Amino acid sequence: MSSGAGDAFAAVIECRGLTRRFGDRAAVNDVSFEVRPGELFGLLGPNGAGKTTTHRVLTTTLEPTAGTAKVAGFDVVRDARRVRDLIGVVFQEPALDDRLTARENLHLHAVLYGLRPRIAGPRIQEALEWAGLSEHAGRPVRTFSGGMKRRLELARALLHEPRVLFLDEPTAGLDPQARRRLWDQISTLRRGGLTAFVTTHNMQEAEACDRVAIIDDGRLLAIGAPAALKTRIGGRDRATLEDVFLDLTGRALRDDEATPRERLLGFGRRGGELTR
Amino acid sequence: MIVSPPVASPDLVLDVRRRPAQLLDVPVVAAMWRRELLRYCRDRSQWFGGVSRAILWLIILGYGIGASYTNIEGYTYTQFILPGVAALNIIFASMQSAIALVWDREVGLMREILVSPAPMPSVTLGKVLGGATVAVSQGTIVLLFAPLAGVALSPLQVLQAWAVMFAMGILLVSIGTVIASRMATFEGFGAISNGIVLPMYFLSGAVFPIRGIVGLGGFLVELPPWLKALMFINPVTYPVDLLRGALLSFQQLPPGLDLALAAALPLAALAAAVVAMNRLVVR
């Protein structure tokens, strides 16, 4: 496990023995790691490994059962409010109001984060341009493609200038073009000095990270730069991150029961009432 | 580029941001309120539902049953049921607004709200006020049919009715929010409709009077005690009676009791909704 203690910079994200249990099952089990300033950090793991649980603890919507986590220097439990002020979050499924326009969604975000109106107006315009959505600003989000929704969410997560950006499986369900565009945008942000924490099970995406942590069954299995992991664990020339991943997590299929969210989504896709 | 370097001082951040309020943040309340109204205005099916319920219950049922029950304490059945149908629209709209929370929380905007620094009580208040406003608009659809029922409304009566309907909206959106906050998943509005909306409607004195019918011949009908008891437990009974007082000047319960409960119950329910929504923030 890498230690940031000797670094010149304080860690932006710091987990110490982080554990979250649901009943008997530990979704996250004694996980410790640090994310340095300006890093693009990937949390890689199969379905049900504990990625989303970690994401939720770090974004203050789930309390850890044991251990501590700090984001931007603040404890996620004791100083949850300060943490919330300083982070931007993109969720697995779009968390937009489908009946509101792109601009209205951004405006609501600006109010929730307490942006002053004189600042919010121009910044919303800037965000729409950055996301390439200025021409669609007045359209209800329900008419948007998956890629457009993602771009809007990313622009929204940045509207209040967060110190740390959290992305939970940001490219799930996107076509290759939209996927590429999203990663280009995330890379641009890194050059601006933003720290980003991305959960993913996509190997190509993990390759783009400065460092990745591989998690399975709630336990941290390995952490390091993709190249270092390939030599250390892949152990042979031309090992891919996918080899490393499969070596560590095994080849068994991960079948899970449908969660309430998945059942609800299925209901929505079948055209159920009150799902818009 | 809209990203600041990570060294930005917190003071600089506060300059572009308001100092956040702990409980009551007026811009957040206003934004949530506005969101509910925008969603409503863009949902044609809800308008259609409001008008169709008014026609079905007030015109078809009202005239149909009115042919047999020609007189309830001097009012035609259509007149008697007018406040009741307004209440039905309010119950429907309130529950619909509250139950939308289940979807919103799992796959909609509520996740973004729950992770934001906005104070949850303000979010809840805005949502409840917004839902109640939508409910008043749905109730008003029924008031537009009043001339057809032979009821002439003065501006003062309309204002009184709006006040009662708004209180009723707050009561029902809050109750619905408490229920929705405890639902993990749902299979549509059907269960809510049959399990909550219709019992609340039938047991509120909306479709039949609480205290016996005085027909044309002048005879009195008593309801069975168990039915009466259920009606008195139903929190909607009191605002419905009050609404009938405002629209027809005909009340069956003591006006003081109606007024006290129609004011106190929404406040208590709102408090319960705030508590329920706060529990969603961190699990």
* Residue A208 banded pLDDT, cuts 50, 70, 90: confident
Which residue in B5, B38, B188 is closest to A272 by CB distance? B188
- Using an 8 Å CB-CB cutoff, list chain A residues near B110: 95
Residue A171's nearest CA partner among A154, A188, A193 is A154
| Tokens standing for residue A176 | 């290759």
Please say if the pLDDT value at position B161 is more than 90.
yes
Residue B265: CB atoms within 10 Å: 21
The whole-number average pLDDT for the span B212-238 is 81
Is residue A86 within 8 A of residue A163, CB to CB? The reply is yes
Residue B57's nearest CA partner among B192, B190, B193, B207 is B207
Query: ipTM score of the complex?
Result: 0.86
Which residue in B42, B102, B108 is closest to A95 by CB distance? B108
Range in A2-11, B141-150, B221-230 with the lowest mean pLDDT? A2-11
Mean pLDDT, chain B, rounded, equals 87
pLDDT for the residue numbered B183 = 81
pLDDT in tens, A69-104: 999 999 999 999 999 999 999 988 889 999 999 999
Decide if B282 and A119 are in contact by the 8 Å CB cutoff. Answer: no
Domains and their CATH numbers in chain A: 9-251 (3.40.50.300)
pLDDT for the residue numbered B9 = 46
pLDDT for the residue numbered A251 = 60
pTM metric for this prediction: 0.87
pLDDT for the residue numbered A7 = 44
Please say if the pLDDT value at position A172 is more than 90.
no
Decide if A95 and B187 are in contact by the 8 Å CB cutoff. Answer: no
Substitution target from A101, A257, A263, A274 for chain B, most B beta carbons within 10 A = A274
| Sign of the C-alpha dihedral computed for residues B34, A83, A259 and A47 taken in this order | positive
Range in A9-18, A264-273, B206-215 with the lowest mean pLDDT? A264-273
pLDDT for the residue numbered B158 = 96
pLDDT in tens, A108-119: 999 999 999 889
pLDDT for the residue numbered B215 = 61
Rounded to 5°, the CA angle A170-A171-A176 comes to 160
- Using an 8 Å CB-CB cutoff, list chain B residues near A158: 2-3
Decide if A158 and B118 are in contact by the 8 Å CB cutoff. Answer: no
Substitution target from A273, A275, A276 for chain B, most B beta carbons within 10 A = A273
Residue with tokens 């996301």: A131
- Using an 8 Å CB-CB cutoff, list chain A residues near B190: 273
The whole-number average pLDDT for the span A194-218 is 87
* Residue B5 banded pLDDT, cuts 50, 70, 90: very low
| Tokens standing for residue B149 | 């029922």
pLDDT for the residue numbered B182 = 84
- Side-chain half-sphere exposure of A108, counting CA atoms within 13 A: 26
For residue A212, give Cα distances in angstroms to A54, A186, B25: 14, 16, 40
A161 → chain B, closest CA residue? B3
pLDDT in tens, B228-283: 999 999 999 999 999 999 999 888 889 899 999 999 999 999 999 999 999 988 77
CA B122/CA B120 separation, integer angstroms: 5
